[in-house]
Amino acid sequence: MPDKDNKNNFHGIAGKIALTFFLLIFFAAGFLGTVFMGREAWNTIRSYTWIKTEFTSLSSEIKEDDEGYSLIINYKYDFQGKSYNGEYKKTSVTDYSSVNADADKYKTGSKGICYVNPSCPSSSILKHKNLCLLPFILTPLVFVFVASFIIYGLWTGDKRRTDSEPVQAISKKSGFSYGNIAGALFFGIFFIAGIVATYYLTYKPLVKFIDAQSWPETPCRVISSRILTHEGDESTTYSADILYVYNVKGIEYKSNRYRYFSSSSSHREAARLKNKYPPGRETVCYVNPSSPGEATLKRNFTKVMPVYFFPVLFVLVGAGGIYGFLKKDKEISALKLSSCGAGYEINKEGLKKIVKLKPKISRYGKFTGLLIFALLWNGIISFPLTELIEGFKKVSIFTCFAIAIIPFVLIGLFLAGSCIYYFLKLFNPLPELVLSCHPLIPGEAAELSWTTGTGAGAVKKYRIYIEGREEVKYNDSDDHHTFCTINLAETENLYEIEKGNVSFTLPEDTIHFFESEHNKIAWSLHLVGKMKYWFDIHEEFSLTVLPKNMLYNG
């Protein structure tokens, strides 16, 4: 017995060390992300203290590049009796109207306000960075907090549990636990990311799409059309850049907006649009009457538009996770057992005679749930991952944030591999188990039968057993252990694997099923199948064990 305890203790310590090592990577990534983002945020905040200074634009030029348009503005300003030159660049912008607006605002000879660093007058900016991005510095801090909390609980939980008071009474309500708060913070990342993505990718284009339905039709002429190349981390996509000119109240405007909710596509589709709108073609566009510089060639609904509502799923998952972790546990019990175990009231009809067991979680349920979670997870990390790859070329606040995402990339790869694993397990033989009576009662005989059907020949060995498990919920953590294992059958005989049965009787002192707010006694039946050349089978079925001294009501 001591040897077994030492072995379990060794495995427990080894598991703690392995988990701690991973969490330290998690912590380090979050800490580095906080440092880099904090430095970038501090520089942004400091720029708001720079001195307002008048400048004169020397040149304002729009150039075409491979991914859109670039705006280069050269200007000069005087500060403390000296003259300085500054340069403002805006590169790889796909929306021509945005760079054109700045080019008109800072056209050659125009006056404007720039912001000069008093400690280094040769450094200046034309525009401040948006402060709304600063709250994102809290995101890697959440990673640091969660990692720290789990490591602390991992190594001090047993000691605190020994030294603390006994678990509070079953009928006593408890407040939020630290574990629930940590889980809520984790899903808060999904929620915040979903809100931001929904606002920029769904809400803003949707508002413009709806407004464009009432914009007046205006004649326009295509002046250039080309194909833009967008290099990603795994593939290259393309889009058609169609620049057209139109006239409103005698003033000429240019735009390259094709439609709202437009996206990159294949080279073939981009080439089709390029050929459809060659330079010189006369057509119509739709112009915003309140802002004539804004126009679009198309305003109809397309089949790809629902894809842009995908970020809403992030919001729902995040909100659901937050609600699930923060809501107080309800006192639920499928079987209303008295706290002293004196008896149980049930109608005789409640004791079913023949029951076909259903897995606790079906194979398709496991695969589908994991697939959805993997898609959501990898969908979220794909954005900072792209920034991480692009970070070798430039540094931004998003690049710093991407450093903290590295552990999540590894988790995403693990989830993708798990999806493949559970998909392949869908092709395992599917055994069918039938109990002669259920719920089970200690001291009363029962019979379990099984049939494997198609694919039984690929099974090398079957093991079937019943497991009793105790679960305890503390204020700051959960604990569980298996207190009973009852072996029912173990065979390598092909005929018994295809079809078999076994009679059994639970010992009369078997602890019955029990569930309360803080404690739970759960029973389950397990079927483990060793496969010859494939992934093993492991099906789990929930069981209900009633107390021996039950009282029949009627």
Q: What is the pLDDT along the chain (554 residues), one digit of tens a residue?
A: 444 444 444 445 776 787 788 778 778 877 887 888 788 888 889 999 999 999 999 999 998 887 789 999 999 999 999 999 999 998 888 889 888 888 988 999 999 999 999 999 999 999 888 777 666 666 677 778 777 877 877 777 555 444 444 444 333 344 455 566 767 777 777 787 778 778 888 888 888 889 999 999 999 999 999 988 877 655 677 888 999 999 999 999 999 999 887 766 778 888 999 999 999 999 999 999 998 989 999 988 877 777 778 778 878 878 888 887 776 444 333 344 433 343 444 444 455 567 888 887 778 888 888 887 787 777 766 655 655 555 444 444 445 555 556 677 778 888 888 888 888 888 888 888 898 888 888 888 899 999 887 777 788 899 999 998 888 776 555 677 888 888 998 988 888 888 889 999 888 888 888 777 778 888 999 999 898 888 888 888 888 888 876 544 44
b/e 395-412 (16+ beta carbons within 10 angstroms → b): eebbbbbbbbbbbbbebb
CB of 536 closer than 8 Å to CB of 529: yes
Does the model's pTM come out above 0.85? Answer: no
506 Rama sector, left if φ>0, alpha if ψ -120 to 50, beta otherwise: beta
Separation between Cα atoms, residue 452 and residue 429, nearest integer Å: 7
Specify burial of residue 16 (Cβ count, 10 A radius: 0-12, 13-18, 19+): middle
> Tokens standing for 86?
């500054």
Spatial distance between the Cα atoms of 33 and 401, rounded to a whole number of angstroms: 5
Residue 214 CB partners (closer than 8 Å, separation 6+): none
| Residue 541, C-beta contacts closer than 8 angstroms, at least 6 positions apart | 357, 358, 359, 360, 433, 524, 525, 526, 527
Q: How far is CA 288 from CA 99, 280, 447, in A?
A: 18, 23, 76
Rounded to the nearest 10°, the torsion over CA 403, 404, 408, 409 is 0
**CA 219 – CA 256 distance, rounded (Å):** 14
Task: Count other Cβ atoms within 10 Å, centred on residue 26.
Answer: 23
What domains can be seen in the chain, in order of their start residue? 49-127 (2.40.50), 214-298 (no CATH), 436-552 (2.60.40.640)
CA distance 466 to 522: 11
Helix or strand (DSSP H, E) at 464: strand 459-473
How many Cα atoms are found within 13 Å in the side-chain-facing hemisphere of 271?
3
- HEC string of 40-57? HHHHHHHHCCCEEEEEEE
